[in-house]
Amino acid sequence: MRILVTTYPEKTHFLAMAPLAWALRTAGHEVLCAVQPGFVDTVTTAGLTAVPVGRDRDPQRMIELAPEWRESGRLGLPPPYDVATREPGDVDWEYLRTEFGTQVSRWHQMENFPMIGDLVALARRWKPDLVIWEPTTFAGSIAAKACGAAHARLLFSLDIFGVTRELYLRLKAQQPPEDRADPLADWLGAYARRYGSDFSEDMITGHFTIDQFPPSLRMPADLHYTSLRYTPYGGPSTIPDWLHHPPERPRVALTLGMVATERFDGYAFDLGGALAALSELDIEIVATIDELTRRRLGPLPGNIRAVPYVPLNALIPTCTAAIHHAGFGTLSTVALHGLPHLVLPGDIDGPELARRLAAQGSSRVVEAASASGEVIRENLSRLLTEPRFRERARALRAEFLDLPTPNELVPQLEELVTKYRTGRHGEPR
């Protein structure tokens, strides 16, 4: 088969897609990753073949046109996708319709427009059997529709997009015909007609969806899902020598992700105060902290090792627990190794992931507003001394390991391509 993988240039999203692309290649399939020019090096460094399409997006221009975009998601899911965590009866149609219109024009169009034309041309020329796309890279579904390929969303977290769309369609059906506006369908439908077909719901949610979460954490819609075990990959890395030696006392990893510093200009709590309080415990803390923040913190206690980066999949097996922001990759890596979590929810999906992880039983959650050093230290002490957290962490690990590996998923994808692939205008190939 020929498989086309595509995403807008969000590194953490691509890293979650790379292992499946590797598995498809090692199974003998041809795989191309179509990305904007400035993202090509990220793809090729992962050992995959890149095809540059379109032009690079301009995040600064996005901020100038919509200044609130920079802070979108700071406190949780951005609208309208925040409705995915509400009870269906609490969702308002006017809110959904208005916010979808806003996000289509300020987010989805601006992220996708620079690559749509070239991606469609590539798909029609190369004729992939399957297109795998990041769940907001709608250029992938447009290209698949234009060439008759089967196509799938590969989730990097909870399926807030599928659940929100399901709520939208339910409320839309209850409105009078003159009030059934659908900005997302209208936008995608215009491209479908440009390339010779009509809009269909799969352009929003895929023919099927690949979910990397186990049942206890999943947020499913009424869609066709197939499961995939998360494979940790953080990009090129080198394991430092000190990590080869067993720690002299219990080691705890502290990692709060890149988004807090790269997008939001800092953490939502006093990191220095937290480290000072944690240093009073008889443990070793390995904290991944960017260089600028490290300089601002000044001298650190002797049982705290601050590093700008260390491969998480090499660090976590040496640890007894982990403190993190509930980012998808970090949470999944910690869970795969059966460690209990102390979660300081970050942005966007962090608060909802933290809630689900706490409900599963393997974590303690400290909200940013109450994240004093003393509170963080107290909660970590509970994780380290109360056996129930480790027991639930082992149960979550078993759930992750029950999911098919990327190599095990490949035969399923081959069958699904046979089911969903068509020729141009819906004619079987």
Half-sphere exposure of 22 (CA within 13 A, CB side): 16
pLDDT of residue 35: 98
In a domain, 236, yes or no: no
Evaluate if residue 263 carries a pLDDT over 70.
Answer: no
pLDDT of residue 3: 98
Asked if 357 and 420 sit in the same domain, the reply is: no
Q: Who contacts 45 (Cβ-Cβ below 8 Å, separation ≥6)? A: 235, 236
Q: What is the CB neighbour count within 10 angstroms for residue 368?
A: 17
Asked if 253 and 180 sit in the same domain, the reply is: no
Specify the CATH number for the domain of residue 310.
3.40.50.2000
In a domain, 235, yes or no: no
Query: How would you classify the pairing of strands 284-288 and 251-255?
Result: parallel
Asked if 371 and 393 sit in the same domain, the reply is: yes
Asked if 16 and 153 sit in the same domain, the reply is: yes
**Residue with the two structure tokens 């990327």:** 406
Evaluate if residue 260 carries a pLDDT over 80.
Answer: no
Exposure string of 150-182, with b = 16+ CB inside 10 Å and e = fewer, is bbbbbbbbbbbbbbbbbbbeebbeeeeeeeeeb
pLDDT of residue 427: 43
The whole-angstrom separation of Cα 410 and Cα 128 is 16
Evaluate if residue 262 carries a pLDDT over 50.
Answer: no
- Cβ-in-10-Å burial (0-12, 13-18, 19+) of 47 comes to exposed
Question: CA of 121: how far to CAs of 82, 126, 316, in Å?
Answer: 35, 9, 43
Asked if 10 and 67 sit in the same domain, the reply is: yes
Asked if 386 and 415 sit in the same domain, the reply is: no
Confidence band of 59 (pLDDT split at 50, 70, 90):
low
Percent over 90 (pLDDT), the chain: 87
Phi and psi, residue 141, nearest 5°? -70, -35
Asked if 86 and 25 sit in the same domain, the reply is: yes
The whole-angstrom separation of Cα 9 and Cα 203 is 20
The whole-angstrom separation of Cα 256 and Cα 340 is 16
Give Dmax over CA atoms of the chain in angstroms.
69
The mean pLDDT value for 341-364 works out to: 94
pLDDT digits (tens, 9 = 90+) for 65-107: 555 555 554 568 999 999 999 998 899 999 999 999 999 999 9
Asked if 296 and 317 sit in the same domain, the reply is: yes
pLDDT digits (tens, 9 = 90+) for 153-194: 999 999 999 999 999 999 999 999 999 999 999 999 999 999
Question: Which has the closest alpha carbon to 424: 67, 164, 144?
Answer: 144
pLDDT digits (tens, 9 = 90+) for 227-239: 999 999 999 999 9
The whole-angstrom separation of Cα 244 and Cα 134 is 35
Instruction: Describe the chain by its helix, strand, coil percentages, rounded to 5.
Output: 50, 15, 35
Evaluate if residue 266 carries a pLDDT over 70.
Answer: no
Contact 342, 274 (CB under 8 A): no
The mean pLDDT value for 361-376 works out to: 93
Query: How would you classify the pairing of strands 341-343 and 363-365?
Result: parallel
The pLDDT mean for the chain works out to: 93
Confidence band of 330 (pLDDT split at 50, 70, 90):
very high
Domain count, the chain: 2
Range of the domain at 290: 241-402
pLDDT of residue 64: 61
pLDDT digits (tens, 9 = 90+) for 306-318: 999 999 999 999 9
